[in-house]
Structures are given as C-alpha cells and as structure tokens.
Amino acid sequence: MLSAIVRRLLQTLLVVLVMSALVFAGLYLVGDPVLMLASPEATDAERELVRQSLGLDLPLWQQYFIFLGKAIHLDFGNSFLTGESAMRLILERMPATLELATLAMFLSLAIGVPLGVYAGLRPNSVGARGIMTGSVLGFSLPNFWVGLMLIMLFAVMLGWLPAGGRGPVESYGPLDLSVFNWEGLKSLLLPACTIATAKCALIIRVTRAATRECLPQDYIKFARAKGLREQRVLGIHLLKNILIPIVTIGGLEYGQVFAFAVVTETVFSWPGMGKLLIDSIITLDRPVVVAYLMLTVVFLATLNLLVDIAYTVLDPRVRLEAPA
Amino acid sequence: MSKLETDPALQAAEALAEPPTLVVPAHESLWRVFLAQFVSSKLAVFGFILLLACVVLAVFAPWIAPQNPFDIGTLDIMDSKMPPGSTNMDGTITYWLGTDGQARDIFSAILYGLRISLFVGFVSVSVAFLIGAAVGLVSAYFGGRIDALLMRIVDIQLSFPSILVALILLAVLGKGIDKVIYALIAVQWAYFARAARGAAIVERNREYVEAARCMSLSWHRILWRHVFPNCIPPLMVIATIDLAHAIALEATLSFLGVGVPVTEPSLGMLISNGFEFLMSGNYWISFFPGIALALVVIAINLVGDHLRDILNPRNEI
Amino acid sequence: MSEYATFSGRAESSASSAARGSGPAQVVGGDHGAAGLSPSDLLLDLCGLRTWFHTRDGVVKAVDGVSLQVRAGEILGLVGESGSGKSITGFSLMNLVEYPGRIQAERMWFNGRDLRELTAQEYRQLRGRDMAMIFQDPMMTLNPVLRVDTQMVEAIRAHERVSRKAARDRAIQVLGMVGIPSPEERLLVYPHHLSGGMRQRIAIAIALLNSPRLIIADEPTTALDVTIQGQILYEVQKLCREMGTALIWITHDLAIVSGLADRLAVMYAGRIVETGSTVDIIGAAQHPYTQGLISSIPSVHTRGQALFQIPGSTPSLLNLPTGCPFRARCYRATEQCATDPVLEEAAPAQWVSCWHKGVQA
C-alpha cells in the first residue's frame, strides 16, 4: 500500500507539472497585460520598460523555467494589479472560502443522504417522487439564480439574513474564521445554502441510486433472514455499502466547491478565493490566475488521492492500483 | 416506469415467468415505442410542452411582445422602474411585468432575451454535439494511441469546471454573442466526445461492424452510417441535459458580465441588470427574467431526465 | 419499516377455497388425520400456500396452493424447474416476500405456532433462531464490506444477550463443525477473500448458529463446483442428523436430492404435483411430470440413446391455463384435465395431483 501511495504521489507530481505547462502556455495567450497596466497614453518605449520589468520580453520557454523555479518556492510573482505577492493574496482569502465550502458540503450531506436513502427505500411513494423532482430542480437551476432568490426572500423580504459580505471573524490559530460566531454564521448561511442546493441534489441522486442498487442484493435479504432488526439491516449493512459512492463523489464535489465557488462568491460579495479569481481573470492579472490554478491543481490532485485511499478503506475489495 | 425498474418482487416475479419481452406488435416501429414510453411520464410531457411554449414565444417574440425593448426610440424614460401591472401614460401598453431602469418592458425583454438564450443554447449544443461525436467515434474506432491521446485531452478539459474554461476563453476572445457560442462549444464538446466514445466502444465490438469491415466499407462510412446511429440514444440524453447546462452557463457568464453584450441581452444579462435594484425593492427587474430562466431550464431537465430513464436505464445518476 | 407482505390469511377465515375462487383444493377431507399424522407430530404444517404478486401487468401466481408437511429432523426435498415457485415457497415461509407479493395460506403452523398470527417483530425473532435459510448464490450472500465475524456475531446477538466473546466462541465452534480449517483466522477476513465453497459453508454455519428447528436451503449447491457439491451435501446431511434439525432442500436437480432426502415434493407452476417418500417417488412415480423428470436424468442405462426431454416449456405464471398446468406437455392429457386435479393419496403416504395418475408402464 505504501509503495502504491508513493507511486500515486509521483504520478500526481507529473500531472502537476504537465498542468503547469498547460496553464502557463494557455495564459500566455491571454492578451497583453502590459496594455492594461501601462496608461493608455504610454509610449512604446515606456511600455517596453514595463514589459522588461515584468520579465515579459524573454522568450516563452525561459519565462516558463523562471516560473517553475519560483513556483517551487511558492513564489508566483506579484499581482499586476496590486503588487502584492500573488500567493499571499490567495492565502489571505482562503479561510473565507474554506468555511463556505465546508459548511455547504456539510449541509448537502446532512440533508441529502437521509433524503436519498428514503427515496431509495420507497421509490414509488409521493415523498420519493417529490424528492426526485426537487433534485432535478436543485441541480438544473443556475447557481446565481438560486442565490438571487435566496437574497430576495431572506434578505429583502424577510430581512432575517444579510444579503452579502462576510461576518465578523475570529482567529483560530492560523485561520480567521467567521463560522463560529452567530453574526458570522448568519452571513455564511445564504451563500452556503446556495451552493448546497445543487450539491444536495446531486448527493440525493447518488444516494438514491446506490440505495436502489444495494437494497435488492442478496446480502440484505440474508441479513433479514438472520432475524436482524431492520435498523441494523439499514443502518449497517446498507449504509456501509452506499457510503462508498457517497464519499467518493462527495469528496470530489468538495474539491470542486472549494476551488471554484466563483459565482456564489460574486453574488454574495463573499471575500473568498473565487471572487479573487474571477476578478483576476477579467483584469488579466496573470500571476494571480497562474498561482491560483497551480494551487488548485495540486489541491485537487491530492484530494483525488485521498478520496481513492478512503475508497480502499471503505471497500475492502478494492486496491489502490489496478493490478498490472 | 414499467418493466425496467428493479423492484425486487418484480424481479422475482420476472424470474419466475418467462423473460418478458417488450410487447411490440409486429407493425410498431421503434419510434412509436419510444413515444409511448415518453408520454408515460406526465412530468416529462409537461416539461416538453413548457419547452415548446418557450420556443414558440421566443420565435414569435417580435409579434407577441407589446414593445421592442431594444429600440430606444420606443422607450419613454418616465416609465422606468414601474411596478408590474402598471400602464404607460397614454394607456397603450400595459407593463404586465413592470419596467426596468431604462423603461424597458420586462415582459418584452424576457421574450427577446429568451430568443438569445435559446439561440445560443441550441447552436452551441448542436455544434458541440457534432464535434464531440466525431471525435469520440473516431477515437473509439481507431483505438490505440489516437484514442489515448484524444481521451487525455478530453479528461484534462473535463477536470476543469466549465465556468472556468468559459471565463478564460471569453477573457481572451472578448464580448459578443458569437464569442459566447464559441466558448460554450469549447466547454461542451468534451462531454459529447466522452459519451460518444463510450457508446462507440461498445458498438465497435458488435458483429455488424465486423460485417461492414468484411465488406470493405470505408471507415468513415462505417462510422457515420452504421456506428453513429446506434450511439445516438445516450448522446441525445446528454444533448438535452447539456442544453440546460449551456443556457444556465450562458446566463451565469452574462450575469458575471463577460457574456453577451448589453445590446443583445440574454436572460442572464437581464437578471444581472436588475441585481442592483434588488435591495431597493424593485424586485421584478431581476425576478421575472429569473423565473423565465428557471422555467426553461426546468423544462429541459424534466424532458432530459425522463429521456435518460428511457434511453439509458442503467445510468441512474 | 419492512415492506414485507402482510398475511391476508389472518383476516380470512379458513373457509372453503371456493370462496376464494380458482385454485385447486389441495386436501380431500380437510385435515391430515387421514394421513396418520396428527398435527402435533409435525414441525411444519403448511396447507394451501398462495403467494401472488399483484403487478401492473396482472397477478403472477408464483405459488398457487402448496402444502407441505415436515416432521422434526426430517429432510424434505422440494424439486422443480426454474419458475416453479420453489424459491418463493421458501421465502414465503420466512416471510421475506416483498411488495407486491402477498402471502395467504389455509394453514401455516410451525413449531406449534400459527405463523399467520405472528406480528412482524415476532416473525423477526423467529427468523434466524427457529427457522433459518441458506441462499443460492454464496458470492453475494455475505455482505462484502463487513468482516465474517461481524456477520456471524450479529446473527447470535440478534436473538440472545450474550457477550461478544461468547458469541465469537460459538461462531468458531460452528465453523469447525462445517469443516472450515483455522476458524479463528477465517473470522477476521472479508468475504471476498474466500472461495464460493467456503462462503457457502459459512452461510450454513450462520444458519446453524442458533440451533434452528428447521433450515430452508434454497439451491445451496447450484452455484458450486460438482466436487464441492458432494462435500457440502454430505456435511449438511450429517449435521442435520446430529442436531435433529429438519431440512427443506430446494433444488431443480432430482438426482442430487434423491440421495439426501427422506421425502420428496415435486412442484410445477406453483403447485405440488406429487409428494411422498423418496424411495416411493423415485421407484414408482405416479405423476407424468415426475416421471418425465426422472427419465431426463442421464444414467448408465440411457447411454448411447437420445436424451429424453419433456416436450414444451413452462407456462407463463402471468397467464396460467385453467385446469392442470402440465396439460399442454403431458402425454396422458385428456379433456378431463381442463379441470383442476385434486391432490389425492394414490398409495400409502404418497400424494399425487393428477387425473391419470399411475405408474408409468
């Protein structure tokens, strides 16, 4: 198992390298940042100076290697816009996205799994059909629309929750979080629910499908034939089996939410990484975008590995690597 | 759903009785069977009718809409931000759904916006379908390194969320409806490619392909005339669901400000325009376009969901 | 929470079957006194079992009037083709038939209790303790994500309050009884580490854990290699004799069960067509279907000749013809067979349901 993990880590490293090249090459085509930074009346000579100072006049491959060299030290250069270290910018905003993503996934699982199991147990009941139709709505409605509706209902009409922004933060070691105080939680609730709507729908469908697949299996019938209580049959025999797809898909979705909550953060003016990303893309702030994508690639690849390891723990039939 | 459910007792009963074949009288075509199965879900039929209604509204918008909201000459700035149900000064037009900040009738704006949204959606999905299917079929048919290479590209693209890819592309390409369509095509082709490849790999090993090869048919004829028609069912499922995604994605991009230009607003742009008025209580400017968008997306998803049950029963998620 | 079929027999009086409409009246005379067996001798007294599935396409009469009697310690072989309803009979006895199936019976007594009167809770306590079941496919009987010891210990602790250690010890003991080497180690593995034969032995061990009075074995060796089949047959027979457990062995293979069982019951299309002692049936089968089954078994005597087949195929349980279900394939069929035959005693302790019963010439 250990050697398999090491092999996977090396593969991950390879993927990260390839991605870094792609990201770098891709963003090289993204317009000419100099045009944005220098004032419109700048002469060509002045533009050239700016170009040189940013190292943009070197050939592409040289830029790439310089980039790689610095990247190892987590130095992705400074933002074209603010001049701050790109890495620092991202890390500053990471806790906000972290608490948003975690709360959103937590809500999705806490609500989605029970509903999905119910829908799987009684597929023809009114409740189950309602749940399934609801889930179709959940993931088909655009994210920003859900956010908008929530704002309209809870912020404008009812006035219960704030319409945007982050609440007061408190320090918890290296992280500044707002989720553990009441005001902060109130601000966190609407954006988390917005994200959770679509993810919950997905979890419901996955859980229902898994439940429907596991329920008619012989081992469930055999468990009943042994005279086990129905709670045990469902709570252990069924649950342990359906956890496998739920954990895998839930884990991967968590990664997606964490890395790319751009829309929700925009709608709610949430000071997280996603908002930073989209602003940077629009303003062509290349170092920030590159730094972000690289971090994301590393994060997602690691998450993939962790999910795979979790899979082998949950399902004893599965090994980390497919046999040669 | 009839025989394809996995009700245990039904399975038991089926195991006991003779294997039930789909009772198709000799003269029934597959098309009829498909239609019969489709109408068995009332929700899907409802979705389909709703979708049809939206398409009709969109196509005939210039004749149905009481006002062309993008012809500035017809606007009266005094009528801006009027609540739903009010009329204009001379009582000629009733603003059923109110007006926005530039005195545009929301109802008309929705109709015109529907046109843009649906147009962008249909076109991008159609082109992505063709490109993706072509790539997937070729990849599956030739296998080996071509397959590995093409599918790696597909995988890499699919590992990035569509919004990100679209954002970056649009940042490069700039604004405009055609640019949006290109970006959507670039985002969507990968789904079709992967689905087409999956279906084609199954078909590739079937006997009719071998027979066609024995007859020395050219590879593109085999692919186009023989393999492709059999891959259509799963691709249709993806096409419908993707249409909803495309429309939603375009709306999101427009909402973020990188989508269609202000002169030809889609529903997403309308929603974005109304966002600022939300807090001051003029909810209708965002709300009604939002409802329209939601209805379109829901309608397509209802149809697509049921299609998936019919055409792809094993793929439950 | 269980969706299992409720007994409609509870609400119905045990009035004549005429009130229920079609379906053969199984027992002439109405009680088993005529057979020389008083009800108290019997461990299982089943009469007129009907398990019908009310599906959207019609009523599937999977079991349509089955009567069985099993004495304590007796081995009964329940023989029939695929689709004859034998597995559903077993599930009905355990009350493991799911919606849309419904179980009805005129009489259903087990161990002195009327099964139709049991609540769901009481039935659950009965399952696994007094009546146990072994399933057909050993590959999926055990939960793949739980260890073997978990699955064995829970079977014990569901019925008795014993410590985990005591339960484990009993599990080890029973594993030894079914011939599993190093049982302590076997307990710690997951099912997929074990072969099909091993898993089936574990399933048998689980069935034996609480010393049930009756074990229902639903084709337990069908999915196994022939050599393993023989071993398991032998061991099951030995264990049942030792522990005094009655056994209903459900199978389609008449050859296998003839060496194992004391009595046989032959099923066709949801009904019992012939039942009697093994010796009587194999030696002197009276029902044409049973005769066909026996003739189909290749043996030394049939060597070099064309294999015998019963012509035709089993009818759809959705559209059973009226009268004798075997009519379409029977060489003795006449017009009389359009009415349901009655299960009558054709020879001492041998009951046949046929208008033209008699030993094959």
* Residues in chain A closer than 8 A to B248 (CB atoms): 140-142
Residue C348 counted as domain residue: no
Query: In the predicted model, is pLDDT for residue C21 greater than 60?
Result: no
**Shortest Cα distance from C345 to chain A (angstroms)?**
34
Q: Output the average pLDDT for chain B.
A: 78
Query: In the predicted model, is pLDDT for residue C344 greater than 50?
Result: yes
Chains sharing 3 or more CB pairs under 8 A with chain C: A, B
Residue showing tokens 């349980």:
C317
**Higher per-residue pLDDT: C289 or B262:** C289
Which site among A80, A139, A145, A283 would you substitute to test the B interface, given the most B Cβ atoms closer than 10 Å to its Cβ? A145
The pLDDT of C313-331, averaged and rounded, is: 78
* A228–chain C Cβ distance below 8 A for any pair: yes
* C124–chain A Cβ distance below 8 A for any pair: yes
- Pairs of residues, one from chain A and one from chain B, whose beta carbons lie less than 8 Å apart: 104
Residue showing tokens 């269980």:
C2
Query: In the predicted model, is pLDDT for residue C57 greater than 50?
Result: yes
**Shortest Cα distance from B230 to chain C (angstroms)?**
30
Q: Kindly give the parts of chain A with pLDDT less than 50.
A: 323-324
**Higher per-residue pLDDT: C229 or C347:** C229
Where residue B238 falls among pLDDT bands split at 50, 70, 90? confident
CB-nearest to C190 from A224, A225, A316 is A316
pLDDT in tens, C105-122: 888 999 888 888 889 899
* C3–chain B Cβ distance below 8 A for any pair: no
- Residue from C203, C152, C167 nearest A228 by CA: C152
Tell me, what's the pLDDT at A144? 87
DSSP code at position C6: P
B17 and C83 within 8 Å at the Cβ level: the answer is: yes
A229 and C124 within 8 Å at the Cβ level: the answer is: yes
B100 contacts B106 by C-beta, under 8 angstroms: yes
Where residue B312 falls among pLDDT bands split at 50, 70, 90? low
Tell me, what's the pLDDT at B127? 94
Tell me, what's the pLDDT at C35? 44
Q: How many domains does chain C fold into?
A: 1
Q: What are phi and psi of A112, to 5 degrees?
A: -70, -40
Where residue C217 falls among pLDDT bands split at 50, 70, 90? very high
B316 and A152 within 8 Å at the Cβ level: the answer is: no
Chains sharing 3 or more CB pairs under 8 A with chain B: A, C
Least confident of A248-252, B306-310, C51-55: B306-310
Extract the runs of DSSP E, i.e. beta strands, from chain C: 42-55, 58-71, 75-79, 101-104, 107-110, 113-114, 131-134, 214-218, 246-251, 263-268, 271-277, 343-347, 350-353
Q: Which residue of B has its CA nearest to C99?
A: B9
Domain limits at C213?
Answer: 2-261
CB-nearest to B317 from A27, A155, A205 is A205
Least confident of A319-323, B130-134, B147-151, B177-181: A319-323
A222 and C129 within 8 Å at the Cβ level: the answer is: no
Where residue C25 falls among pLDDT bands split at 50, 70, 90? very low
Least confident of A109-113, B193-197, B214-218: B214-218
- The CA-CA-CA angle for residues B136, B138, B139, to 5°, reads 60
Least confident of A38-52, C165-179, C306-320: A38-52
* B293–chain A Cβ distance below 8 A for any pair: yes
* Residues in chain C closer than 8 A to A244 (CB atoms): 145
* C66–chain B Cβ distance below 8 A for any pair: no
Where residue C11 falls among pLDDT bands split at 50, 70, 90? very low
Where residue B314 falls among pLDDT bands split at 50, 70, 90? low
Tell me, what's the pLDDT at C305? 79
Residue C57 counted as domain residue: yes
pLDDT in tens, B33-89: 778 877 877 888 888 888 888 888 888 878 877 777 777 666 667 667 777 776 666
Where residue B224 falls among pLDDT bands split at 50, 70, 90? confident
C245 contacts C277 by C-beta, under 8 angstroms: no
CB atoms within 10 A of CB C279: 12
Query: In the predicted model, is pLDDT for residue C199 greater than 50?
Result: yes
d(CA A63, CA A174): 33
Side-chain-facing half-sphere of A162: CA atoms under 13 Å: 15
The answer to whether the complex's ipTM is over 0.85 is no
Tell me, what's the pLDDT at A48? 76
Q: Output the average pLDDT for chain C.
A: 81
* A221–chain C Cβ distance below 8 A for any pair: yes
* C127–chain A Cβ distance below 8 A for any pair: yes
* C325–chain B Cβ distance below 8 A for any pair: no
Contacts of the segment C1-6: beta carbons below 8 A, 24+ positions apart: C1/A121, C1/A230, C1/A234, C2/A224, C2/A230, C2/C120, C3/A122, C3/C98, C3/C99, C4/C95, C4/C96, C4/C97, C4/C98, C4/C99, C4/C120, C5/C51, C5/C95, C5/C97, C5/C98, C5/C99, C5/C101, C5/C102, C5/C103, C6/C102
Which site among C96, C118, C139, C143 would you substitute to test the A interface, given the most A Cβ atoms closer than 10 Å to its Cβ? C143
Mapped onto helix, strand or coil, the DSSP state of residue C279 is helix
d(CA C234, CA C109): 29
* A226–chain C Cβ distance below 8 A for any pair: yes
* Residues in chain C closer than 8 A to A218 (CB atoms): 135, 137, 140-141
CATH of the domain at C36: 3.40.50.300
User: Exposure of A215 by Cβ count < 10 A (0-12 exposed, 13-18 middle, 19+ buried)?
Assistant: buried
Least confident of A186-195, C9-18, C262-271: C9-18
* Residues in chain C closer than 8 A to B13 (CB atoms): 53, 55, 60, 62, 101, 317
Element (H, E) at A125: none
pLDDT in tens, B74-126: 666 766 777 777 666 666 667 777 777 777 788 888 888 888 889 999 999 99
Query: Cis (ω within 30 of 0) for the bond into C298?
Result: no
* Residues in chain B closer than 8 A to C313 (CB atoms): 18
Tell me, what's the pLDDT at C220? 87
Tell me, what's the pLDDT at A256? 86
The pLDDT of C201-213, averaged and rounded, is: 91
Contacts of the segment A4-9: beta carbons below 8 A, 24+ positions apart: A4/A319, A4/A320, A4/A321, A5/A305, A5/A309, A5/A320, A7/A321, A8/A305, A8/A308, A8/A320, A8/A321, A9/A305
